[in-house]
């Protein structure tokens, strides 16, 4: 067991963890943040994407101790109470969600992009989502949702 | 209509966008164990001995099940088990575990332990001695007399390794048809296995208690059939088995029509032994290598026409690789012939023969399109060839031969509304057909456009047992509750159905809910497959809605002093003869008098043909053989659009799967090692940065059999992509390919064969 | 298992020493974690260098670009210094895996895993990089060709040795580099073939050329015959095509069930090499 100091969705915690765990298992099994999904366990599908210190990472291949001292955002921390983030709303409104299994990872990849660059080009959106596989939507409406959320964020909207 | 026709955001959007929606992967029960499976490393072998003592002795292990201590009752993991029409028998060729594995990945044993890691370690401690037996992998090889028998008990008598029976049907006189033909062309195609690759891997949590009850959570597309399969295979009363989606399902595309892989039954037998809940979650590798794929194989087609282009004879044969077990093999070969070859064109003399062939590979089963993409690929190739031979325009030849509304074709139900020619026109226009087709090309990067069209079905009736039941009730405050056994696997069926129900009933959408994906929610429903969910369930909702409205109006008549037959309802307000009365009040008044408005209805749906045409534009790097699909215009006769955005989503998602099928996706078998494609890194399905522009077009033809004119849309987005892309590549390069995917190596080989490069 | 977060190169080496051969360096960890979970690797001590300040960052030191071993592929791909001098290195490091992988993975990791088609390693290979390795006894400076001992095998002993940085000479005005990837899919895929080159081109003559290619051997493989032949020649279409053909002399591609048969790779390699050279020529 090692001591992990980490901030998850705005809450600081100091916990004992098994260092063999990956970050995704820690989030899902220990914190019950099951919104982070496991689609492959090898960083090849993006379903487990969370934001670590501002960057999108596939939490299934991040050793949990890599999170030491870091700030982690998961899908559960994106909305502000009952107020959804513009990205979440646009995913819903634009039809970017089908089965929903890739959705948390997609939203986290989108948020990592838009937090840094709220006026992305189509290619920047594609690059940001290239590591997130969706088998349902053909990505069309996902990219539309990201663009539309970007516009709202440029107008000053966030959930927080 | 208040709701139908509007892009209402899906009702599960909140759950899915917040991470609060629960999938099978997220289900955990008190005292739960984790199961892991021991799979055969050989394509065909006999287990000489199995020793589980070390596994059992490992601390934390609570149950070890093998073919020796588990029921050996034969069954079929697919819904065909319980949906095969009377008169035919389902092929029951699977067991929970086997002592004679028939493919690399076949289940030999499984372990339940307190952690996944311990279960994994225990599986490695099971000692198995195998006698390796001869195996066959190619369907044509498997039909040769000297090939090893894959399923001696279940093969058909006349042909080696043909599963169940040969599928053969036709209309007219095929021999006479070809005699009448003035021009005859032939086409062949070789198609790969491709994988559904739904995002949530197979899995289940099963909880058996010593009182004889079994609770199952799983991502099955068919909760009721899954309950029936489990009851049959485990010899339990159906009433004591409860199957539910939790409620979300991480995609399906056909791969879990019936069991999700084998997860439910594997978890169930372990739970029965351990008397604790057991969770099985397939790894992505297991999902890729030990669950059903699309059928690959070979098709041949002969098409005869008059000189003016009129088709007179069409004869197609399919030899598809169904793998080690039947699952949907027989049914799929039927759909391949029916929807893939018999539906699109009016051909007076049509014949089809399909061979579902056993091999020692993983099983091929249902995958979006279910045989239609295969049949359509070869027929559309033949139509292109016919146009060339006749010197006719591809669009004109198609349009003059497509099925017309009054035609009587092979299908045992009316043709219904037909907007296929409009689909062809719109798709062609969208791709820029006139400006782009047939333009001479030079240089290394060449572009071309192509087109293909087809049809499918809007559910599986009358080809198999296929019916729905719903249970509608008006709550005491007037809000609507719909109970149904259908799952929500992603299309938004549950949202669209509420839209339909609210318009049929005249109640508001925002207070209506649907309980779905649960055998306890309503009586039997076959589930989500065959493009059917919205089409078929809306049929039975209509019946129930009519019943409830009648009940409501009769009850309201007294309260309102208006005869029941003068009443109508909209948005929850009952009105007639200038008076209004809210349903919310009536429902409560009824409640105070001991009455609730509800109805349960059950029905076999009719069927309708969803027509489509797809145009593709491609760009080819001639020296490297890189084929890039740059645009797909996909036009669909959807009957009636219920929710435009959801409907577009079905088309866009289908199209991209079709693009993957045409140019990149393929399960590659390596002798002695099995399929190479163990994960997303080794399976080239499209990612966001590699997709073409996709233009969905929806055409409303108002089908007479569909509720409000609805037809199905779920599967058809991908059914014409392969032939459309092949046609476009021919336009760009002059080379007609008769195999996909068009990976660079295949393209260069084709160019070499055609003499384009040395 | 023990997890050590090293705050400096010194601490990382000390942790390795304390682990007595049972430790391994972990930077991105994108491969290490998968291998540990699959049972393909065992390690009792993981020494995380991502927080070691002296191993991070990208800087100019005299006439060299210095990339710390903990610098992520994303940092390199978007770094203004790298972009100014070697856009091809941005392209190569920006082609690995996916953005998420690049956000944690490192260029050194991309070299040490010794995948013969690694895009990051390939794009840095012709730039004449020096890989600085600290051992318990001191320091050694390796060429990229010293880093590989076999298919998928690194020369580095990650239980005893630590790469601290990669030093790449700042190019002269008449030196340009390029990287090309022949891919089935942009993200989440290894290339069918990749190649990179750097050429010193003066008065329409190749002064020298360094061409690397993969997967056609162990690690990024030098197209020695083509390099030699190009010397003194102008980069004409014919000469670049000939260099491509000559590259086959040093290439031994294998068949891969997904990423191309030997025949296809042999067909395509000359074209890829030609395109790398064309891209370089276009920069002059």
CB B377 within 8 A of CB B299: yes
From edge to edge, which strands make up the β-sheet containing B296-305? B167-171, B349-358, B311-323, B296-305, B183-191
B744·C190 Cβ contact <8 A: no
Peptide bond into B247 cis (omega under 30): yes
Cα→Cα distances B211→B208, B274, B547, C183, Å: 8, 14, 39, 57
> Is it the case that residue B406 has pLDDT exceeding 90?
no
Do A99 and A139 have their domain in common? yes
- Residue B5 included in any domain: no
Q: What is the DSSP string of C199-220?
A: EEEETTEEEEEEEEEESSSSSS
Chain B 66-95, CB below 8 Å of chain C: which residues?
none
- Residue A159 included in any domain: no
Best probe of the B interface among C30, C255, C268, by most B CBs < 10 A, is C268
ipTM over 0.90: yes
> Is it the case that residue A160 has pLDDT exceeding 60?
no
Q: Are strands B278-281 and B241-244 parallel, antiparallel or unpaired?
A: unpaired
Do C204 and C156 have their domain in common? no
Q: Show the DSSP H helices in A45-101 as ranges.
A: 86-93
Angstrom distance (rounded) from CA B306 to CA B183: 6
Task: Identify the domain containing residue C279 by its residue range.
Answer: 175-283
3-state helix, strand, coil in chain B (%, to 5): 30, 25, 45
Residues of C in contact with A2 (CB under 8 A): 2-3
pLDDT digits (tens, 9 = 90+) for B527-548: 999 999 999 999 999 999 999 9
Residue A68: closest C-alpha in chain C = C5
More confident residue, C28 or B737: B737
- Inter-chain Cβ pairs, chain A and chain C, closer than 8 A: 80
Whole-number pLDDT of residue C186: 96
Do B187 and B236 have their domain in common? no
Residue A120 sits in a domain whose CATH number is: 1.10.150.120
Distance from the Cα of B710 to chain A's closest Cα (Å) equals 20
Whole-number pLDDT of residue C34: 82
Q: Is B365 exposed, middle or buried (0-12, 13-18, 19+ CB in 10 A)?
A: buried
Q: What is the DSSP string of B326-374?
A: -TTHHHHHHHHHIIIIISSB--SEEEEEEEEEE-SSPPB---TTTTHHH
C264·B689 Cβ contact <8 A: no
The closest CB to that of C187, out of A55, A61, A130, belongs to A130
Do B157 and B218 have their domain in common? no
Longest dimension (CA), chain C: 59
Please report where in the chains the tokens 């690194």 appear, as a residue: C154
Tell which residue, B624, B627, B630, has the closest CA to residue B730: B627
C188·A131 Cβ contact <8 A: yes
Task: Identify the domain containing residue A122 by its residue range.
Answer: 86-154
Boundary-marking domain end, from B358, B382, B401: B401
Number of domains into which chain B is organized: 4
Please report where in the chains the tokens 């989440």 appear, as a residue: C188
Do A22 and A62 have their domain in common? yes
- Residue A160 included in any domain: no
Tell which residue, B137, B132, B112, has the closest CA to residue B122: B112
Best probe of the C interface among A22, A44, A128, A129, by most C CBs < 10 A, is A44
pLDDT digits (tens, 9 = 90+) for B195-239: 999 999 999 999 999 999 999 999 999 999 999 999 999 999 999
Residue B647 sits in a domain whose CATH number is: 3.30.365.10
Residues of C in contact with A68 (CB under 8 A): 5, 51
Tell which residue, B224, B258, B229, B282, has the closest CA to residue B74: B229
Q: Burial code of A105-140, b = ≥16 C-beta within 10 A, e = fewer?
A: bbbbbbbbbbbeebebeeeebbbbbbbbbbbbbbbb
B623·C271 Cβ contact <8 A: yes
pLDDT digits (tens, 9 = 90+) for A60-94: 999 999 999 999 999 999 999 889 999 999 999 99
Do B590 and B625 have their domain in common? no
The closest CB to that of C258, out of B625, B626, B668, belongs to B668
Do B639 and B757 have their domain in common? yes
User: Is B741 an 8 Å CB contact of chain C?
Assistant: no
Boundary-marking domain end, from B250, B268, B289: B289
> Is it the case that residue B442 has pLDDT exceeding 70?
yes
Residues of C in contact with B686 (CB under 8 A): 185
- Residue B45 included in any domain: yes
CB B19 within 8 A of CB A35: yes
Do C135 and C89 have their domain in common? yes
Do B125 and B237 have their domain in common? yes
Q: Provide the residue count of chain C.
A: 284
Token digits of residue B723 = 């032939």
Number of domains into which chain A is organized: 2
Do A7 and A70 have their domain in common? yes
All residue ranges of chain C with pLDDT < 50 are: none
Do C49 and C162 have their domain in common? yes
Task: Identify the domain containing residue B593 by its residue range.
Answer: 467-603
Number of domains into which chain C is organized: 2
Do B728 and B619 have their domain in common? yes
Q: Is B388 exposed, middle or buried (0-12, 13-18, 19+ CB in 10 A)?
A: middle
Contacts of A50 (CB under 8 A, 6+ apart): A23, A24, A27, A36, A56, A57, A59, A72, A73, A74, A75, A108
Q: Provide the residue count of chain A.
A: 160
The conformation of residue C275, written as its DSSP 8-state character, comes to H
Whole-number pLDDT of residue B386: 98
Residues of B in contact with C268 (CB under 8 A): 624-625, 744, 748
Residue A58: closest C-alpha in chain C = C100
- Residue B9 included in any domain: no
Distance from the Cα of B681 to chain C's closest Cα (Å) equals 6
CA atoms within 13 A on the CB side of B690: 26
The closest CB to that of B17, out of A28, A92, A125, belongs to A92
Angstrom distance (rounded) from CA B350 to CA B341: 9
CB C230 within 8 A of CB C206: yes
The closest CB to that of A100, out of B12, B283, B681, belongs to B12
Residue C245 sits in a domain whose CATH number is: 3.30.390.50
As a whole number, mean pLDDT of residues B121-128 equals 98
Whole-number pLDDT of residue A25: 97
pLDDT digits (tens, 9 = 90+) for B450-469: 999 999 999 999 999 999 99
Q: Burial code of B341-352, b = ≥16 C-beta within 10 A, e = fewer?
A: bbbbbbbbbbbb
A130·C29 Cβ contact <8 A: no
pLDDT digits (tens, 9 = 90+) for B581-611: 999 999 999 999 999 999 999 999 999 999 9
Whole-number pLDDT of residue C28: 86
Tell which residue, C240, C237, C236, has the closest CA to residue C227: C240
- Residue B661 included in any domain: yes
Residue B691: closest C-alpha in chain C = C185
C29·A62 Cβ contact <8 A: yes
Peptide bond into B639 cis (omega under 30): no
As a whole number, mean pLDDT of residues B255-274 equals 98
Angstrom distance (rounded) from CA B706 to CA C85: 64
The closest CB to that of A138, out of B23, B655, B689, belongs to B655
**Positive or negative torsion for Cα C68, C73, C75, C79:** positive
- Inter-chain Cβ pairs, chain B and chain C, closer than 8 A: 50
Helices B394-401, B420-431: axis angle to 10 degrees equals: 170
- What are φ and ψ of residue C75, in 5° steps? -60, -40
Boundary-marking domain end, from C129, C153, C169: C169
Tell which residue, B47, B69, B62, B71, has the closest CA to residue B129: B47
Do B638 and B732 have their domain in common? yes
> Is it the case that residue A158 has pLDDT exceeding 80?
no
pLDDT digits (tens, 9 = 90+) for B685-703: 999 999 999 999 999 999 9
Best probe of the B interface among C267, C273, C274, by most B CBs < 10 A, is C267
Torsional class of B726: left (φ above 0), alpha (ψ -120 to 50), beta (otherwise): alpha
- Residue A130 included in any domain: yes
Whole-number pLDDT of residue B157: 83
Do A58 and A119 have their domain in common? no
User: Percentage of residues in chain B with pLDDT exceeding 70?
Assistant: 100
Do B580 and B612 have their domain in common? no
- Inter-chain Cβ pairs, chain A and chain B, closer than 8 A: 173
Distance from the Cα of B745 to chain C's closest Cα (Å) equals 5
Q: Are strands C45-48 and C23-26 parallel, antiparallel or unpaired?
A: parallel
B681·C190 Cβ contact <8 A: yes
Do B170 and B314 have their domain in common? yes
Residue C42: closest C-alpha in chain A = A20
The closest CB to that of B680, out of A38, A133, A142, belongs to A133
Whole-number pLDDT of residue A159: 63
Residue B686: closest C-alpha in chain C = C185
CB B349 within 8 A of CB B342: no
Question: Neighbours of A (≥3 Cβ pairs closer than 8 A)?
Answer: B, C
Do B507 and B623 have their domain in common? no
- What are φ and ψ of residue C251, in 5° steps? -110, 140
Check: pTM over 0.95? Answer yes or no.
yes
């Amino acid at each position: 067991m090692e001591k992990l100091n980490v901030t998850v969705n705005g809450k600081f915690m100091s916990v004992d963890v098994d260092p063999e765990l990956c970050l995704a298992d820690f989030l899902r099994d220990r914190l019950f943040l099951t919104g982070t999904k496991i689609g492959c366990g090898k960083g090849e599908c993006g379903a487990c994407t969370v934001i670590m210190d501002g960057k999108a990472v596939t939490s299934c291949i991040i050793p949990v101790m890599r999170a030491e001292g870091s700030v982690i955002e998961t899908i559960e921390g994106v909305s502000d109470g009952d107020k959804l983030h513009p990205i979440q709303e646009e995913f819903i409104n634009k039809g970017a969600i089908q089965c929903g299994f890739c959705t948390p990872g997609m939203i986290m990849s989108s948020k990592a992009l838009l937090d840094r660059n709220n006026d992305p080009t189509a290619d920047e959106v594609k690059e940001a989502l290239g590591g997130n596989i969706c088998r349902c939507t053909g990505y069309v409406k996902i990219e539309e949702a990201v663009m539309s959320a970007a516009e709202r964020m440029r107008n000053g909207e966030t959930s927080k | 209509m208040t709701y139908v026709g509007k892009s209402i955001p899906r009702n599960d959007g909140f759950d899915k966008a917040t991470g609060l929606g629960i999938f099978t992967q997220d289900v955990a029960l008190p005292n739960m164990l984790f199961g892991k499976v021991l799979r055969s490393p050989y394509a065909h072998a006999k287990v000489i001995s199995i020793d589980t003592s070390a596994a059992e002795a490992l601390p934390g292990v609570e149950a070890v099940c093998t073919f020796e201590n588990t029921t050996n009752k034969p069954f079929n993991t697919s819904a065909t088990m319980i949906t095969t029409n009377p008169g035919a028998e389902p092929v029951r060729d699977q067991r929970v575990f086997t002592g004679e594995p028939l493919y690399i990945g076949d289940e030999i044993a499984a372990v339940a332990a307190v952690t996944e890691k311990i279960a994994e370690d225990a599986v490695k401690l099971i000692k198995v001695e195998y006698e390796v037996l001869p195996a066959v992998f190619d369907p044509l090889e498997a039909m040769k007399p000297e090939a090893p028998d894959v399923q001696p008990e279940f093969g058909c008598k006349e042909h080696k390794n043909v599963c169940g029976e040969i599928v053969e049907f036709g209309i007219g006189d095929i021999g006479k048809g070809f005699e009448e033909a003035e021009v005859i062309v032939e086409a062949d195609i070789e198609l790969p296995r491709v994988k559904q690759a739904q995002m949530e891997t197979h899995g289940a949590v099963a909880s058996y208690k010593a009182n004889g009850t079994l609770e199952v959570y799983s991502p099955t597309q068919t909760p009721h059939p899954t309950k029936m399969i489990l009851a049959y295979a485990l010899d339990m009363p159906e009433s004591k088995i409860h199957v539910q989606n939790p409620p979300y399902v991480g995609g399906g595309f056909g791969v879990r029509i019936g069991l999700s892989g084998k997860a439910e039954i594997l978890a169930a037998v372990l739970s029965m032994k351990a008397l604790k809940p057991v969770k099985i979650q397939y790894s992505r590798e297991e999902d890729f290598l030990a669950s059903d794929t699309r059928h690959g194989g070979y098709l041949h087609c002969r098409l005869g026409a008059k000189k003016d282009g009129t088709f007179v004879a069409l004869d197609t044969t399919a030899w598809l690789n169904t793998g080690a077990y039947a699952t949907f093999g027989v049914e799929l070969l039927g759909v391949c012939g029916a929807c893939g070859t018999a539906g699109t064109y009016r051909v007076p003399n049509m014949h089809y023969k399909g061979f579902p062939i056993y091999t020692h590979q993983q099983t091929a089963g249902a995958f979006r399109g279910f045989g239609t993409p295969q049949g359509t690929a070869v027929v559309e190739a033949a139509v292109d060839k016919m146009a060339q031979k006749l010197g006719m325009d591809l669009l004109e030849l198609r349009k003059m031969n497509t099925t017309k509304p009054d035609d009587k074709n092979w299908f045992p139900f009316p043709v219904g509304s037909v907007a296929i020619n409009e689909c062809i026109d719109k798709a062609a226009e969208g791709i820029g057909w006139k400006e782009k087709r047939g333009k001479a090309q030079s240089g290394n990067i060449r572009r071309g456009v192509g087109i293909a069209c087809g049809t499918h079905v809007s559910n599986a009736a009358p080809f198999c047992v296929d019916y729905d039941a719903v249970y509608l009730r008006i709550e005491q405050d007037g809000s609507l509750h719909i109970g149904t056994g259908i799952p929500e696997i992603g299309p938004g069926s549950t949202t669209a159905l509420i839209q339909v129900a609210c318009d049929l009933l005249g109640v508001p959408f925002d207070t209506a809910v649907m309980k779905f994906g649960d055998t306890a929610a309503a009586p039997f429903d076959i589930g989500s497959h065959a493009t059917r969910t919205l089409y078929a369930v809306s049929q039975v909702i209509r019946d129930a809605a009519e019943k409830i409205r009648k009940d409501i109006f009769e009850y309201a008549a007294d309260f309102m002093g208006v005869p029941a037959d003068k009443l109508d309802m909209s948005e929850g307000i009952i009105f007639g003869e200038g008076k209004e009365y809210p349903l919310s009040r009536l429902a409560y008044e009824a409640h105070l008098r001991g009455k609730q408005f509800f109805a349960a209805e059950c029905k076999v749906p009719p069927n309708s043909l969803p027509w489509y045409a797809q145009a593709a534009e491609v760009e080819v790097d001639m020296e490297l053989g890189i084929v890039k699909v740059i645009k797909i215009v996909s036009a669909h006769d959807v009957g009636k659009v219920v929710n435009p955005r959801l409907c577009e989503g079905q088309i866009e998602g289908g199209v991209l799967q079709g693009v993957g099928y045409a140019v990149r996706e393929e399960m590659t078998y390596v002798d002695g090692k099995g399929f190479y494609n163990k994960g997303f890194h080794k399976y080239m399905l499209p990612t966001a940065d590699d997709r073409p522009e996709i233009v969905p077009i929806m055409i409303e033809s108002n089908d007479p059999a569909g509720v409000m004119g609805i037809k199905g849309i779920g599967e058809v987005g991908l059914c014409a992509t392969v032939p459309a892309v092949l046609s476009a590549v021919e336009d760009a390069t002059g080379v007609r390919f008769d195999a996909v995917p068009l990976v660079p190596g295949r393209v260069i080989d084709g160019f070499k064969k055609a003499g384009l490069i040395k | 298992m023990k997890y050590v977060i090293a705050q400096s190169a010194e601490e990382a080496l000390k942790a390795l020493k304390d682990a007595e051969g049972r430790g391994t360096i972990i930077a991105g960890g994108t491969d290490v974690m998968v291998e540990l979970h699959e049972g393909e690797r065992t390690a009792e001590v993981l020494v995380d260098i991502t927080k070691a300040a002296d191993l991070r960052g990208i800087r100019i030191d005299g006439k060299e670009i210095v990339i710390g071993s903990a610098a992520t592929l994303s940092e390199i791909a978007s770094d203004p210094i790298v972009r100014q001098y070697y856009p091809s290195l941005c392209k190569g490091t920006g082609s690995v895996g996916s953005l998420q992988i690049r956000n944690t993975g490192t260029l050194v990791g991309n070299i040490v895993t010794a995948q013969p088609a690694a895009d990051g390693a390939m794009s840095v290979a012709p730039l004449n990089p020096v890989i600085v390795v600290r051992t318990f006894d001191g320091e050694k400076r390796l060429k990229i060709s010293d880093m590989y001992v076999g298919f998928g095998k690194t020369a580095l002993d990650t239980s005893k040795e630590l790469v601290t940085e990669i030093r790449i000479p700042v190019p002269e005005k008449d030196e340009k580099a390029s990287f090309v990837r022949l891919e089935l899919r942009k993200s989440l895929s290894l290339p069918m073939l990749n190649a990179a080159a750097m050429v010193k081109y003066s008065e329409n003559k190749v002064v020298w050329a360094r061409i690397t290619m993969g997967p056609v051997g162990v690690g990024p493989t030098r197209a020695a015959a083509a390099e030699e032949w190009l010397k003194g020649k102008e980069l004409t279409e014919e000469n670049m095509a000939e260099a491509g053909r000559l590259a086959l002399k040093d290439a031994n591609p294998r068949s891969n069930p997904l990423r191309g048969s030997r025949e296809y790779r042999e067909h395509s390699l000359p074209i890829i090499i030609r395109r790398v050279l064309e891209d370089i020529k276009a920069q002059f």
